[in-house]
Chains A and B, each alone.
Chain A
Amino acid sequence: MRSEGEAGRASEGSPEDVPLMKTSKDPTEFSWYFLLPCMIFLGLVFVYPISFFLLRTFFDPHPSLMHVRHLFADPVFLKVYWITFKISFIVTFICLLLGYPIAYLLSEVSDRTRNLLLILVLIPFWTSLLVRNYAWMVLLGRRGVFNNLLVQMGIVDAPLTLLHNTFAVTVGMAQMMTPFMVLALLSVMKGIDRGLVRVAESLGANPFEAFLRIFVPLSLPGVGSGCLLVFIYSLGFFITPALLGGRKDVMISVVIEEQVSTLLNWGFASALSLMLLVATLVFFLVYSRFFKIEQIG
C-alpha cells in the first residue's frame, strides 16, 4: 500500500502532469488523428500481409499443426536455426572486437577529427548492401583479388576456396554490421567522464589498468545495446548469406526464400518465418527493456 501511495505521488509530481500552460487546450499540441494515415497505411501494407502470411503456418492447407511438427521433427531445419544463431553470435563478437577500438578512438579525438573519421565509418553504412556484397565476391572469388595476390606472391600454389562458405558470410556480415556497433558504442563513450580515468591514473594505476577498470565498465551499456542490435539484425540477414554463403551452412532467411520461390511451400515457409520472427521479437523486447528504441536507427 505504501509503495502504491508513493508511486501515485511520484507520478503526480512528474513534469508532464504539471498544468503549466494547459489552462485551456495547448495550441502547440497535436491530436492523435495525425497518426491515423500512418497507422492505416501500416495496417494495410505491413500488419495485414505479414499476419495473413504467418497464419498459413496453422491453416495450410487445412487447420493443423502439421508444419510446426514438421519443423521440430526434421533435424535439418533445427540445424538451420542453430547455424543462424551461431553465425549471428560470431558476427556480433567480431563486430565488438573491431568496433570497440574504433569507437574508443572516435571518442578520444577532437570533434573535427571525429567528424572526418565518422565519414569513413558511415561510407560502408551508406553504400548499397548489394554493392558491398558484390565487392566481397570480387575480393574472395576463385579468380578474385585475394587469390590473385596470394598466388602471385607465391604464398599458395592453387587458389583457395574463400567464397561460398561460412567464412565469407562471417567476414562480409561483420564488415556490414561494424558501423552499427561503432555508433552504439560511441553514443555511450562520448558521455564517459575522462576525469575518472585520470583520477585512477593519478592514484597509481597505469593507463591500461585505468582503462580496463574504469573506462570499460562505464562503456558496458554501449556494449550491451550494440551487441543486441547487431545480433538482432544478423538473425534476419538474407542477401549476404544468399550471395556469399554455400550450400552447407545456410541461414534461415535463405531457406525461407527457397521454400517460397522454388518449392512453393507456403505453409512451411510461414512456419519457418514465425520461428524467426519470435526469436527476433524476444531479443528486441530485451533491447527495448534496457535501451531507447530510437537508437535502433
Chain B
Amino acid sequence: MDLLSIDRFEESRTSLGKYFFYSLCALIFVYLVIPIFVIIPISFSSAKYLQFPPQGFSLQWYADYFGSRTWISATLVSLQVAILTMIIATILGILASLALVRGSFKGKKLLFGFILSPMVIPVIITAVGIYYVFAKIHLIGNVIGLVLAHTVLALPFVVVNVTATLQGFDITLERAALSLGANRLVTFIKVTFPLLRPGIISGALFAFITSFDEVVVAIFIAGSRAATLPKQMWDGIRIAINPTISAVASLLIVFSILLLLFIEILRRRFTKWRG
C-alpha cells in the first residue's frame, strides 16, 4: 500500500468510528428521553386499560382528570403549596446568599454546605424526621406543614442560583451608585436587585418545581386532607394503575418542558447580555 491509500484507509476508519460514535450517542439519547414520551400517546387511548400501541383515540382520561374533584383539588393544593414555598424560599435564599457572598466572617464554606445539605441527605430521612415532629404539633394534612417542609428542600436551589449570580457580579456598579449619593437601600433596589434578577428568577422556578414535584415528604405529611398532585398520583400508581394518571403525567410533562424552555431562554438572554 502506498502512503496515499494508507491515509484513505485511516480516514475511512475514523469516519466509520465517527458513525459508530454518533449512533451510540443517538441510542443513549433515546434511552434518556423516549421513555418519558411513551406516556403521551397512551394517554389518548380509547382502551379501558393501558396498552401500547394505543388503540383508537379518545380524551376519556383527560375528561376523567378534569371531571374529578379529587384530582382538581390535588392540583390546586399543589399549586398553592408550590407558590408559597417559592416565595418563602426565595426570600430566605436571597438574604442568605447576600451574607454568604458579601459577608466577611469565618466558616462561610461550612454554612454554605449546611444550607445545601437538604439536597444531599436522603429525602426519606428528612421526610420521616419532619413527619415525626409535625405529627406532634398537628401540622399533618395541611398546607402550612407542606410549605414549611418543601421550603427546606427548595432553599438549596435558590441559594445555589443566587450565589452563582452574585459571584460573577461587577461590584463597581454598586460603588458607583453609592458614591453618587444613593443610600444602601436605594442601591440595592435600583442596582443590585435588577442585576440579580436572572439568578433570582431561575432560583425561584427551581423552588417552585421542587415543591410541585415533591413526593416523599408529601406521602408522609399531606394526609388525605391536603393531598398534593404527586401524592394523589403515588396512591393511584401504588394501589392500582389508574389510566387517568397517564393524562395527568402527560400534562405534567408538557408543563415541565415549558418551564425548562423558559429557564433556558432566560439563561441565554442573560449570558448574551453579559457578553
Stretch at the interface among B63-71, B115-123, B193-201: B115-123
CB-defined contacts of A206 to chain B, threshold 8 Å: 10
A236 contacts B121, C-beta separation under 8 Å: yes
B39 contacts A38, C-beta separation under 8 Å: no
Q: How many contacts between A and B, using CB within 8 angstroms?
A: 264
Q: A27-B178, A29-B102 are in contact. Are A256 and B124 (CB under 8 A)?
A: yes
CB interface residues, A 65-123, toward B, < 8 Å: 98, 101-102, 105, 115, 117, 119-123
A239 contacts B152, C-beta separation under 8 Å: no
A50 contacts B129, C-beta separation under 8 Å: yes
Count of residues in B whose CB is under 8 Å from the partner chain: 101
C-alpha gap A50/B114 in the complex (Å): 14
CB-defined contacts of B133 to chain A, threshold 8 Å: 48-49, 52-53
The closest CB in chain B to the CB of A97 belongs to B28
A53 contacts B129, C-beta separation under 8 Å: yes
B160 contacts A294, C-beta separation under 8 Å: yes
A46 contacts B126, C-beta separation under 8 Å: yes
The closest CB in chain B to the CB of A144 belongs to B52
C-alpha gap A144/B53 in the complex (Å): 10
Mask: chain A, 244-265; 1 = CB below 8 Å from B; 0 = not: 0000000001001100110000
C-alpha gap A253/B249 in the complex (Å): 24
A260 contacts B216, C-beta separation under 8 Å: no
A244 to chain B, nearest CB (A): 11
CB interface residues, B 27-45, toward A, < 8 Å: 28-29, 31-33, 35-36, 38-39, 42
| Residue in contact with B215 in the complex, picked from A35, A37, A98, A239, CB distance below 8 Å | A239
The verdict on A127 contacting chain B, using a C-beta distance below 8 Å, is: yes
C-alpha gap A253/B219 in the complex (Å): 14
B65 to chain A, nearest CB (A): 14
CB-defined contacts of B92 to chain A, threshold 8 Å: 37-38, 41
CB-defined contacts of A98 to chain B, threshold 8 Å: 28, 31-32
8 interchain pairs, CB-CB under 8 A: A37-B92, A49-B129, A54-B125, A123-B36, A130-B230, A135-B36, A138-B38, A148-B52
CB-defined contacts of B253 to chain A, threshold 8 Å: 127, 131
Stretch at the interface among A154-162, A183-191, A213-221, A273-281: A273-281
CB-defined contacts of A236 to chain B, threshold 8 Å: 121-125
C-alpha gap A33/B105 in the complex (Å): 11
B32 contacts A178, C-beta separation under 8 Å: yes
A124 contacts B33, C-beta separation under 8 Å: yes
The closest CB in chain B to the CB of A118 belongs to B264
C-alpha gap A133/B39 in the complex (Å): 11
B121 contacts A208, C-beta separation under 8 Å: no
The closest CB in chain A to the CB of B268 belongs to A115
Enumerate chain B interface residues (CB-CB to A < 8 A). 10, 14, 17, 21-22, 24-25, 28-29, 31-33, 35-36, 38-39, 42, 49-53, 91-93, 95-96, 98-105, 109, 111-126, 128-134, 148-149, 151-152, 155-157, 159-161, 163-164, 171, 174-175, 178, 184, 209, 212-213, 215-216, 219-220, 230, 233-234, 237-238, 241, 245-246, 249, 252-253, 256-257, 259-261, 264, 268
Count of residues in A whose CB is under 8 Å from the partner chain: 87
The verdict on A11 contacting chain B, using a C-beta distance below 8 Å, is: no
A134 contacts B128, C-beta separation under 8 Å: no
C-alpha gap A266/B96 in the complex (Å): 34
CB-defined contacts of B234 to chain A, threshold 8 Å: 130
A268 to chain B, nearest CB (A): 12
A28 contacts B209, C-beta separation under 8 Å: no
CB-defined contacts of B256 to chain A, threshold 8 Å: 126-128
CB-defined contacts of A46 to chain B, threshold 8 Å: 117-118, 126, 130, 152
Mask: chain A, 16-42; 1 = CB below 8 Å from B; 0 = not: 000001000001111111110111011
B98 contacts A257, C-beta separation under 8 Å: no
CB-defined contacts of B51 to chain A, threshold 8 Å: 143, 148
B233 contacts A34, C-beta separation under 8 Å: no
CB-defined contacts of B213 to chain A, threshold 8 Å: 128-130
Q: Which of A136, A144, A239, A288: most chain B CB closer than 10 A? A: A239
B35 contacts A139, C-beta separation under 8 Å: yes
| Residue in contact with A35 in the complex, picked from B14, B28, B100, B121, CB distance below 8 Å | B100
C-alpha gap A273/B98 in the complex (Å): 34
The verdict on A205 contacting chain B, using a C-beta distance below 8 Å, is: no
Q: A38-B95, A102-B25, A138-B38 are in contact. Are A238 and B216 (CB under 8 A)?
A: yes
The closest CB in chain B to the CB of A297 belongs to B160
A53 contacts B151, C-beta separation under 8 Å: no
The closest CB in chain A to the CB of B231 belongs to A130
| Residue in contact with B157 in the complex, picked from A257, A261, A297, CB distance below 8 Å | A297
